[in-house]
Each structure stands twice: as structure tokens, then as C-alpha cells.
Amino acid sequence: MDGNIHIGTRGSKLALWQARWVQAELLKAHPTLSVEIIVIKTKGDKILDVPLAKVGGKGLFVKEIEDALLEGKIDLAVHSMKDMPAELPGGLTIGAIPQRENPQDVMVSKKGCLAELPEGARIGTSSLRRAAQILFIRPDMCIDPLRGNLDTRLQKLDTGDMDAIVLAAAGIRRLGLEHRITEYLDSGVMLPAAGQGALCIEIRTGDEDTGALVGELDHAETRTVVLGERAFLHRLGGSCQVPIAAYGRIEDGRFELSGLVAEPDGSRIFRAALTGPAMTSVRIGTELAEKLMDQGAMTIIEKLQNQG
């Protein structure tokens, strides 16, 4: 295949690593391609002093890139799947979901694991999902707002008065910083964000040439799992304004999905799980969301959306 392909991405080290990985995989399969990376600054990259939940949530990291894709300025976009809103704009679709990295959250700490942190320890995160689950386990902890790219957050831990920060394992591992990890947080303690650890290669709906090109990077099992997690998120109307988590896996042909909705202060968590045939992952995601809604999770969601 010959041609020119333009990849849109954010400009952080991690975003560029992800875009370059896609670039390398495309060139490996099609050496005659010309593949160029276009860096696009998003609103989320510009606003660093306000928690995400207060300035619009997930779409902050993708809207400008999606606009460029819709306008034909780029041919595909590479995102972290966990940054993707539950619903895509008209005219865009997920072209591929490559094999997932480790989906867990990790703690990078000056004072040991979560259970070892002293009373009143300061933990840095701007994720309502992470903060709520930490406070549910350790209500004595103090949560410090923490924004910025991965390097910036690690530097703030090293030079500031925070005792620990919580990050996605995938980013740490992709940038070769695994030695900084103090503890992998088990999903029983910290359920990940929907799609965490997976990439989203987004294309224009109906662009068959680009679809065929990136389709070679799709990983069937990862797609099945992530679409189930996103169905859960979509049914709940999830955004960064509400602490929502979902983690699925396939074992022996069965899709197992765990999900939760929490109060931001960790005072109340609705959590449940559902299992079924892997081919029905989207239905299972929707049904699990409805199960939590029946338990009362919508009281949290509606309250936070009204406050927002």
C-alpha cells in the first residue's frame, strides 16, 4: 500500500510514544507508506490548574484532535482509551483497539504501599475515581489535586510535600519507568477506568482505506473487553464528573465484568459484577450498569451531574 498517512496526537511524552508505536506498526506492515505525526494541543493540555471534573471531563483531551480528523487535516487519531468520552461524535468511529497493556493503577510512594502509609498521608491525584476508592479504603488519607503529564506528576512527587501519587501502570511501563512503581493496586482495592491501558485508533466513518490499514492493529480480545467496559460507561452516562470504574477480562470464553459507582469522598460505593459469553460483552456492560442503577447508583450520578 502506498500513500500519505497523518496521525493526530497530543504532545506529551506518553502520547507521542503511543503515536510512534502506531506509526512503527504501520510502517512495519507497509514500508512504502509515508506516515507523519501531527501534534495537536487540546484544551486539557492548556488548563492544568483546575480539576478535570470542573472543566468538562474526558472530552478535554480529544476534542481538538477529533475536530482535525473530521476536517480531514489528519487521517487517524491515537488516544488513550480511558480519555475517550462514552459517546463518539457523529462521523467518527473506533478503527482499531490494539492489544492492551497492564490495566491496573499503581502507587508511586515515598513511604511504602497504601496500607503502610501513615495516617493523614497526602496522596496526589485529580481522578475522582482514584480518590474515591482510596478514601473508601483509607478515609484518613488527604487527597491533593494533581494535574500534568506523567513526568510532571512524578516531579511534583519528588520535589513537593506529597507522600504518594496514583498513576496508570500502562503509562509508566510504556515510558520505561517501571522502577518507580511502589505497588500495583489490585482491582479489589482500585478498579481501573473503562479502557485503561488500551489505545484507541479513531478514524472517520466510511474511510475504508484507513479502516483496512489500522484494522490490522486490532486485537480481537482487547476490543471485546474494552467495548464491554465502554458499554457500562455509556449506559451510566459516565464522565470525569462521576467516579465510575469498570474492568473486564475473558477467561475460558466467558466475559467477566466488574463495575462501580462511588461518592467522591469514598463514603459510599455501589459495586457489582456480571459474567456471560464473551460475544455478549456489550450487553453484559449495559446490564451491569442497570444492575448498579437498580441498587441506587443513579442517586450519586444525578447528584453529581446536577452539581456539575
How confident is the model over 193-220, as pLDDT tens digits? Answer: 999 999 999 999 999 999 999 999 999 9
Read off the amino acid at residue 24: A
83 in active site: yes
How confident is the model over 85-128, as pLDDT tens digits? Answer: 888 999 999 999 999 999 999 999 999 999 999 999 999 998 99
Domains of the chain from N-terminus onward: 3-98+199-218 (3.40.190.10), 105-185 (3.40.190.10), 231-307 (3.30.160.40)
Please state, in angstroms and rounded to a whole number, the distance separating the CA atoms of residues 200 and 243: 21
Q: Angle at CA 46, nearest 5°, toward 197 and 61? A: 30
Give which of 248, 262, 136, 251 is closest to 197, Cα–Cα.
248
Distances from the Cα of 81 to the Cαs of 17, 69, 94, 193, 201, in angstroms?
15, 17, 10, 9, 9
pTM of the model: 0.93
Considering the chain, what percentage of its residues have pLDDT values greater than 90? 83
Q: Left if phi > 0, otherwise alpha if psi is -120 to 50, otherwise beta: which for 62?
A: alpha
Considering the chain, what percentage of its residues have pLDDT values greater than 70? 93
Q: Which residue has the cell 456489550?
A: 282
Read off the amino acid at residue 14: L
How confident is the model over 244-273, as pLDDT tens digits? Answer: 999 999 999 999 999 999 999 999 999 999
Please state, in angstroms and rounded to a whole number, the distance separating the CA atoms of residues 236 and 301: 8
Give which of 92, 85, 56 is closest to 71, Cα–Cα.
92
Give which of 246, 261, 267 is closest to 293, Cα–Cα.
261
Quote the crossing angle between the two packed helices 297-307 and 281-295, to the nearest 10°: 80
Active-site entry in 45, 49, 75, 83: 83
pLDDT > 90? residue 49: no
CB 232 within 8 A of CB 194: yes
Res 44: pLDDT: 67
Give the residue, 303 or 143, on which the prediction is more confident.
143
Please state, in angstroms and rounded to a whole number, the distance separating the CA atoms of residues 141 and 239: 24
Q: Give me the count of residues in the chain.
A: 308
